[in-house]
């Protein structure tokens, strides 16, 4: 029986949106993936990994939770970053529930205070997920939890580890209890609303983030240039899907680093991405990567609009 056709003696379906918000690196995307039990959003140890609102849909018999994974809130220095922060702020204003993630392994600072003020402005229900508790001794958690309790802003404070899954079931129960009743927002068979091409570009970018450091992770993006399905009958012969993608960098020196000596760096990114994509798409993939020098792309409104459109809606 579908979740949106409750029987006479059944509770009406629960359905609502949950914005996962917080500072960069708090673990929002890791939590999204943990809640969905699927790798939907990309994750890295670099801040500012997520650049858009990523929609993840959790459907159960009792209804539907629609998660918005959002970019970490930071001081934006480029047009792209201003958009990122806007996606986060719009999400927290639009969602039925705001779930603020705080990193328990970092001491409470001005960025956390800023997040509290921001979340304090919304009218909807607020929940605090204190993440990365696997890195912190229990007695040290208490003063941190006290700060959030004293703010009197949160209906619940739940310590979790999005990495190990500890406490995530409790958090999910709290979210189910908090969402309103109503019709499902999406087809319950959907995990997300984003096109495969966007998810593929993201997964390639994740491999770039994994091997780069300093300014490179921030000034790189991935564009799918060409997507070629096997010809009719080709898929049966195990012919690959052919994906041609560009990795944009801002400076010639960055291109040199990404290509690497003798092309080694780009080759290893390509191999890691291809293996991941084959598993994700469950079919053979041929992947060609090209590093392109595109000065100032983070300020380029046309390119940013194209990237935004690639999310689909």
Residues 201-232: b if buried by 16+ CB within 10 A, e if exposed: bbbbbbbbbbbbeeebbbbbbbbbeeeeebee
Among 24, 188, 230, 240, binds ligand GTP (CB under 6 A): 24
Q: Pick from 90, 134, 239, 308 the residue near ligand GTP by CB under 6 A.
A: 134
Question: Nearest distance from residue 50's CB to Mg ion, in Å?
Answer: 3
Does residue 217 belong to the site contacting ligand GTP (CB under 6 A)? Answer: no
Q: Which of 48, 50, 59, 246 binds Mg ion (CB under 5 A)?
A: 50
* Token pair of 130 as six digits: 């204190």
Decide if residue 212 touches ligand GTP (CB under 6 A).
Answer: no
CA 136, distance to chain mean position in Å, is 24
Query: Residue 262 class from Cβ within 10 Å (0-12 exposed, 13-18 middle, 19+ buried)?
Result: exposed
Answer yes or no: are the C-beta atoms of 259 and 266 closer than 8 Å. yes
Of the residues 47, 124, 240, 260, which one makes contact with ligand GTP according to CB under 6 A: 47
- The closest alpha carbon to 25, from 135, 119, 126, belongs to 135
Q: Which of 16, 63, 71, 270 binds ligand GTP (CB under 6 A)?
A: 71
Binding piece for ligand GTP, criterion CB under 6 A, among 5-13, 126-134, 205-213, 305-313: 126-134
User: Judged by CB, which is closer to ligand GTP: 164, or 228?
Assistant: 164
Q: How far is the CB of 234 from ligand GTP (least distance, A)?
A: 36
Ramachandran region, residue 85 (left: φ > 0; alpha: ψ -120 to 50; beta: rest): alpha
Q: Which does 221 bind (CB under 5 to 8 A by kind): Mg ion, ligand GTP, none?
A: none
């Amino acid at each position: 029986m579908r979740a949106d056709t409750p029987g006479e003696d059944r509770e009406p379906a629960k359905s609502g949106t949950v914005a996962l918000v917080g500072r960069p690196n708090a673990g929002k995307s890791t939590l999204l993936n943990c809640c969905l039990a699927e790798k939907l959003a990309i994750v890295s140890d670099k801040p500012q990994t997520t650049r858009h609102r990523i929609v993840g849909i959790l459907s159960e018999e009792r209804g539907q939770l629609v998660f918005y994974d959002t970019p970490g809130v930071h001081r934006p220095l480029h047009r792209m970053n201003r958009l990122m922060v806007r996606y986060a702020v719009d999400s927290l204003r639009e969602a039925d529930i705001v779930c603020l993630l705080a990193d328990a392994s970092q001491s409470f600072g001005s960025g956390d205070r800023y997040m509290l003020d921001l979340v304090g402005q919304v009218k909807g229900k607020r929940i605090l997920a204190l993440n990365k508790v696997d890195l912190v001794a229990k007695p040290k958690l208490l003063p941190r939890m006290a700060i959030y309790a004293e703010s009197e802003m949160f209906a619940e404070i739940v310590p979790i580890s999005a990495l190990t899954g500890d406490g995530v079931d409790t958090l999910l129960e709290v979210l189910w209890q908090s969402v309103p009743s109503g019709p499902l927002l999406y087809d319950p068979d959907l995990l997300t609303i984003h096109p495969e091409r966007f998810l593929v570009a993201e997964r390639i970018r994740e491999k770039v983030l994994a091997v780069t450091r300093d300014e490179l992770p921030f000034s790189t993006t991935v564009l799918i240039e060409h997507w070629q399905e096997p010809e009719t009958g080709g898929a049966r012969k195990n012919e690959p899907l052919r994906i041609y993608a560009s990795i944009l960098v801002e400076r010639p020196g960055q291109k040199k680093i990404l290509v690497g000596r003798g092309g080694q760096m780009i080759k290893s990114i390509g191999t890691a991405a291809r293996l991941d994509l084959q598993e994700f798409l469950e079919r053979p993939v041929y992947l060609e990567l090209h590093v392109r020098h595109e000065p100032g792309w983070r300020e380029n409104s046309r390119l940013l609009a194209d990237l935004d459109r690639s999310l689909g809606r």
